[in-house]
Amino acid sequence: MGSWAKLKSTDWVFPTAVLSLYGFFANCRPAEPFLTPYLIGPYKNISEEVVTNYLFPIWTYSYLAVLFPVFLLTDFLRYKPVIMVQGLFLVTNYVLLCFAPGLTAMTFLQFNYAVVTSTEVAYFSYIYSVIPPERYQRATGYLRSAMLTGSTLGATIGQMLVSLAGLDYFYLNAISLGILSIAFLISIWLPMPQQGMFFRGEKAALGLSAKDQVEEEVKSYSSRKLVYWSLWWALAMAGYGQVFNYIQLMWDHIEPSSTSSVYNGGVEAICAVVGAAAAFCVGHVKVTWDVWGELSLGVFSAVGAGAVFLIGLTSNIWASYAGYVIFKASYMLLITITTFQIASNLSMACYALTFGVNTFVALLLQTILTAIVVDETALGLDIITQFIIYGSYYAAISVLFLIRGMYTACAHHCRPKQAMDQEQKEEPKVEMPSSDRFCSDHRQYDYTNTPR
């Protein structure tokens, strides 16, 4: 009991440990890689066309509708209630999957999951409101490790139970329900923050009014570098969301789950490890990103485009799996670089607001893609045509940034040094973040990334 009291009295260990446990259990979902086979299988018996062109678009529209109010409420309510709501809605999600029959229940499920994804911003925001700044870096590492370990273990367990034990998808959902119930109970143990970072503490510390916040945001976006990196962020995240949402439907189209073995869980586990390794390598590569960054965006976006074309055009399930791993690894690599570059061009007052704006723009673009390409009231295209469009979309991003990147690289090597120095002087002056402060910005990367 004495050790427990001592742990709770520490300024950062207890909340970090509890939140890491929550992150582990909340992301350990053995059934998630097998959602589509479960929906179109005998338990829910929903057609592939309805899932593609009706159900999944509802999640996108709902996510856009709830993102902004949840973003504001997260800080106003001081994070913990929002994390508890996320845990509760995750439990509700799997209660519906296990026990609620009919299309109406699955329609509500999409809105329910939209609330879950919109509340992910609270996960990292919470810890930065309850621990001292000098602990940000270590806490961020622990929280990310917990999320990665949970998602990898969940996908691995799901794959092993399906492939080795022949377990039915219903029981995978029941196991996920039990794990997520533990996550919800853990969220209750989180200490309540004394104040939020924006509405109370952070705003007060910076002495900024709402007008000052807007002026700082406009000043940040006057930097051309920030605009280019933010543009890639929004464009690429929208395309990634579409690929991630509909990849299981593509795999089921290539090799129907009703007649073939499914290895979705194994592929997602590999993606998590490869993506984490790619992101880790970024921190150890010495590159002048101001010169070569935009060209890197173009090159690796081309790799992603090729991978999406492979997924859409191949009839071999293993080639499609490989294409997905390549696509996700290249995206994780680039989104890590982009997160750092955006943060390095921001003033300290604009972190959360800028990442929130970029995420909202990405979701808006994804909604437009869904409304035109997927929704049954518009084109309602088949899954193969959708992936050809997504590949073309990434190819267009690649061409845009290859052109811009080659121009930047040539300008750097051909322009006189004095001209380059003058151009740098003309760039808006912004306050550069410290390494501890930068760690707090990565909370948006962990959410962001998180389509269904």
The tens digit of pLDDT for each residue in 383-424 reads 999 999 999 999 999 999 999 878 877 876 776 554 445 545
pLDDT at residue 195, as a whole number: 60
For the chain, percent of residues with pLDDT exceeding 90: 45
Distance CA(96)–CA(120), nearest Å, equals 20
In this structure, the answer to whether residues 278 and 197 fall within a common structural domain is no
Q: What's the confidence (pLDDT) of residue 12?
A: 75
Are residues 19 and 146 located together in one domain of the fold? yes
pLDDT tens by residue, 64-76:
999 888 887 877 7
Query: Alpha carbon of 168 to those of 38, 172, 173, 249: distances in Å?
Result: 9, 7, 9, 19
**In-domain check, residue 3:** no
Of 231, 271, 222, 279, the closest CA to residue 396 belongs to 231
- Please tell me the distance from the alpha carbon of residue 421 to that of residue 362, in angstroms, as a whole number: 33
Same domain? For 169 and 228 the reply is no
**C-alpha distances in Å from residue 351, one per residue of 105, 290, 393:** 38, 20, 28
d(CA 376, CA 176): 31
Decide if 447 contacts 123 (C-beta within 8 A): yes
pLDDT for 250 beyond 90 = yes
Using CA atoms, how far apart are residues 221 and 243, in angstroms rounded to an integer?
29
What is the band of 430 on the pLDDT scale with cuts at 50, 70, 90? very low
The proportion of the chain whose per-residue pLDDT surpasses 70, expressed as a percent, equals 77
Number of domains making up the chain: 2
Q: Which of 180, 202, 224 is the last residue of a domain?
A: 202
User: What CATH number corresponds to the domain at position 194?
Assistant: 1.20.1250.20
Please enumerate in sequence order all residues whose Cβ is within 8 A of that of 51, keeping only pairs 6 or more positions apart, or say none.
36, 39, 40, 249
Q: Give the pLDDT of residue 451.
A: 52
Q: Cβ distance 72 to 194 under 8 Å? A: no
Mean pLDDT confidence for 358-378: 90
The distance between the two most distant Cα atoms of the chain, rounded to a whole number of Å, is: 70
Q: Residue 394 corresponds to which tokens in the numbers above?
A: 């990434």
pTM over 0.85: no
Rounded Cα gap, residues 227 and 221, in angstroms: 6
Last residue of a domain, one of 202, 229, 252: 202
Looking at the structure, do residues 54 and 76 belong to the same domain, yes or no?
yes
* Inter-helix orientation angle 289-313/383-414, to 10°: 160
Residue 2, in any domain of the structure = no
On whether both 144 and 246 belong to a single domain, the answer is no
Q: What residues make up the domain containing 369?
A: 208-452
**What confidence score (pLDDT) does residue 180 get?**
97
Closest Cα to residue 320, out of 275, 397, 400, 264? 264
| The pair of three-digit structure tokens given for residue 240, joined into one six-digit string | 């990634």
Half-sphere exposure for 39 (CA within 13 Å, toward CB): 27
Domain closes at, from 151, 181, 202: 202
